[in-house]
Amino acid sequence: MIKKFLIHVCIFLIPVIIGYAIVENYSRNLPLTPKIKSEFYKNNIQDIEVLVLGASQNRDAINPEFLSHKALNLAYPDQDYYVSSKLLEQVGPTLPLLKTVIIPISYGHFETAPNQKDTWKNSMYRHYFGTTVSDKFTYFKDNFLYISFPDYYSVKINEQKKGLLHLDCNEYGYNRNIEKALFYTFDYDSLTISKQPVHITPTIPHPEYIIENIQKLEDILAFCGQQKYRVILLETPTTTRFKEHRIPEVLRRKDSILTMIRSTYNVHYVDANSANDYMLKDHRDHNHLSPQGAEKFTKRLNTILEELE
């Protein structure tokens, strides 16, 4: 009886397994930026000298094609210091020429919740870079992409099928497509943009997040010290309106953390946010650069890196 039951269950599950295998395969072959970056990483593992970590601000601000040294940009939306430290610890040692690590110190980065709940990123990094960015026990199920974030991959599969997955990536995986950028949707019309509210997050301070984020940043800096990597703490450009809306208390906290870090660790601080020559078209939205802005910014960053050599 039990055998019959198990056989029936297995027969019932066959279409489910086949269906899932098809979707999983499709997800793995989607031309998404992490896939392109992983190909760049595999093909240039011996030559990469610069590693960019952090969240979407760094992802959009640094286009490695404008750096004189080969750079891998592993910044990703909502990526906190915890994930960045995991990436650094695992990817860093695989890069024999790695000299410079770029880490964000932007407004609010210390205040946001450490996003360890984003377990799907663990699957993404395991698949594309062979790294584990979660402290939780991981096993073969964490290799599956689709099941890690069905909503995201379903949308991407649909876009791909309908020909709407408009990525315009260079070999470094930098996406030059700005169709979905907020300012682009307003046709870069300054009047319309000025009428839009500026969303500044977070609004409520969480001391526990700040403590945890500082701890993780210090882990990164300690690791960089051990490996003798040069550290660039980077603040990317934002719009004037964004700067006006920042909460003074959050700014003060960030500045005091920065002072503490600079006095304790051997780091270089690049404050690109005080520059006033970034035009509206240089931004995707209030705190992200457009490809045009990224070119301008990355060239300047390159000069700084050259000077540090």
Partner 1 sequence: MLFNSFDFGLFLPIVFILYWIVGRKRIQGQNAILLIASYFFYGVWDWRFLLLIIASSLVDFYAGKYISKAKTQQKRRLWLYSSLSWNLGVLFVFKYYNFFLENLKTLFELPENTFTTLDIIIPVGLSFYTFQTIGYTIDVYRKKIEPTQDILKFLCFVSFFPQLVAGPIERASKLLPQFSRERSFTYDKAKDGLRQLLWGLFKKIVVADNIGVAVFAIYNHPEEYGSLTIIYGAFLFLFQLYADFSGYSDIAIGTAKLFGFDLSTNFKLPYLANSVTGFWRRWHITLSKWFQDYVYVPLARGKALGFFSKSSRKAISLLITMGLIGLWHGANWTYLAFGLLHGVLIVIEGTTMTSKGKKMKLHQWLETGVFWSKFYTVTFLVVSLIFFRASTLDKAVIMLKEIVTQNIAFYNFDLIIGRKIGFLVIMIIAEVWRKRYTHPFMNLEGILPKVVRWGIYYFLIFAIIRYGRPQEAFIYFQF
Q: Which residues bind partner 1 (CB under 8 A)?
A: 1-2, 4-6, 9, 12, 15-16, 19-20, 117-120, 141, 147, 149-151, 154
Sheet holding 100-104, edge to edge: 71-73, 50-52, 100-104, 230-235, 267-271
Q: Are 71 and 50 in contact (CB under 8 A)?
A: yes
Nearer to partner 1 (CB atom), residue 70 or residue 121: 121
Nearer to partner 1 (CB atom), residue 177 or residue 215: 215
Q: How far is the CB of 122 from partner 1 (least distance, A)?
A: 11
Inter-CA distances, 112 with 29, 116, 169, 250, Å: 32, 12, 29, 11
Nearer to partner 1 (CB atom), residue 146 or residue 278: 146
Q: How far is the CB of 120 from partner 1 (least distance, A)?
A: 7
Nearer to partner 1 (CB atom), residue 111 or residue 118: 118
**Quick check: bond before 202 cis, omega within 30?**
yes
Q: How far is the CB of 151 from partner 1 (least distance, A)?
A: 7
Closest CA to 60 of 299, 243, 285, 303: 285
Q: How far is the CB of 16 from partner 1 (least distance, A)?
A: 6
Nearer to partner 1 (CB atom), residue 16 or residue 191: 16
Element (H, E) at 57: helix 56-61
Inter-CA distances, 19 with 7, 127, 159, Å: 19, 20, 19
Q: How far is the CB of 228 from partner 1 (least distance, A)?
A: 38
Q: How far is the CB of 252 from partner 1 (least distance, A)?
A: 25
Nearer to partner 1 (CB atom), residue 83 or residue 95: 83
- DSSP character string of 114-181: P-TT-HHHHHHHHHHHS----SS---GGGG-SGGG-HHHHHHHHHHHHTT-----B-TT--B---TT-
